[in-house]
Amino acid sequence: MCTFTDMLNRGLLAAAMVAALALGLTSCTREQEVSAEPTSTRASEVSTAPAPMTTASATPAPTPDGFDASVAPVPPDALGGPATKAAAADVARYFLSLFPYVFATGDLQAWKSLSGASCKYCANVVSMVDEMFADGNHSVGGEFEFASVEGDDYKEGEFAVLLRFRESPSQTVSSTGVVVEDFPDTKLESAEVHVVWDGSGWAVDGVVVDLLDRQ
């Protein structure tokens, strides 16, 4: 599994929208180097963290207490509308909560149903999940604990949601239980999610992420 910040530049918001929202976020990447289009306030300067450690252990490290990434997040009532800042915030939090789940299970139905056609980040997650499961691997751990979720109006039916959260350590594990990749750090991150209501449902049109700290 790639940790959430490995995907930073794979689904960027348009620079014009980010500037208009004036949320002041900066650019960074995930732990594996990716190419980024210079269309976001984050995309001009990219830093790459060290590559994840590969081990031959057959026993994954314990996941955070009480967290099982293979259990699907509960869909919020906000998925049915209305188009409010509070509903947009709930939808964005739910969408990001799907991240460890899709890498643990390969089940992309909910992720795809919320992914907008223009969301490159969303599409790249799908590609990475497909690749992981084609190799016979899956992820464990990687819980998201949200510290704050703030929705803001962009224009009618469109919202920007700024989320700050803690991502727990995770591992990529083979079908036989061998640890393929280890991501031992706990990360403090923020994500800006562009959420759109089309009158009958929500779509995520872009995701921009910032790595705030590593523990």
What are the pLDDT tens digits along the chain (215 aa)? 667 666 544 434 333 333 333 333 322 223 332 233 332 322 222 222 333 444 444 444 445 457 899 999 999 999 999 999 999 999 999 999 999 999 999 999 999 999 999 999 999 999 999 999 999 999 999 999 999 999 999 899 999 999 999 999 999 999 999 999 999 999 999 999 999 999 999 999 999 999 999 98
191: tokens are 């994500």
Does residue 172 contact residue 139 with C-beta atoms inside 8 Å?
A: yes
Q: Please say whether the beta carbons of 145 and 189 come within 8 A.
A: no
**Who contacts 67 (Cβ-Cβ below 8 Å, separation ≥6)?**
141, 143, 168
| Residue 58 lies inside a defined structural domain of this protein | no
Q: Contact, 69 vs 104, CB < 8 A?
A: yes
Using the 8-state DSSP alphabet, how is residue 4 labeled?
A: G
Look at residue 102 and tell me if it is in a domain: yes
Alpha-carbon span 46 to 29, nearest angstrom: 6
DSSP string, 171-204: EEEETTS-EEEEE---EEEEEEEEEEE-SS-EEE
What secondary structure does DSSP assign to 66-95, as a single string?
T--TTSPPPPPGGGG----HHHHHHHHHHH
Kindly report the CATH number assigned to the domain that includes residue 83. Answer: 3.10.450.50
Flag whether 54 is in a domain. no
- Is 146 a domain residue? yes
62 domain-assigned: no
How far is residue 18's CA from residue 31's CA, in Å, rounded to a whole number? 24
Burial of 155-175, coded b for 16+ CB within 10 Å and e otherwise, reads: eeebbbbbbebbbbbbbbbee
The answer to the question of residue 178 being in a domain is yes
Residue 97 lies in a domain: yes
Q: Which H or E run contains 133?
A: helix 120-134
Bridge partners, residue 62, by sequence: none
End-to-end CA distance of the chain: 19
pTM to 2 decimals? 0.76
Q: How many domains does the chain have?
A: 1
Task: Give residue 202's domain range.
Answer: 4-49+72-214
What's the pLDDT tens digit per position in 124-183? 999 999 999 999 999 999 999 999 999 999 899 999 999 999 999 999 999 999 999 999
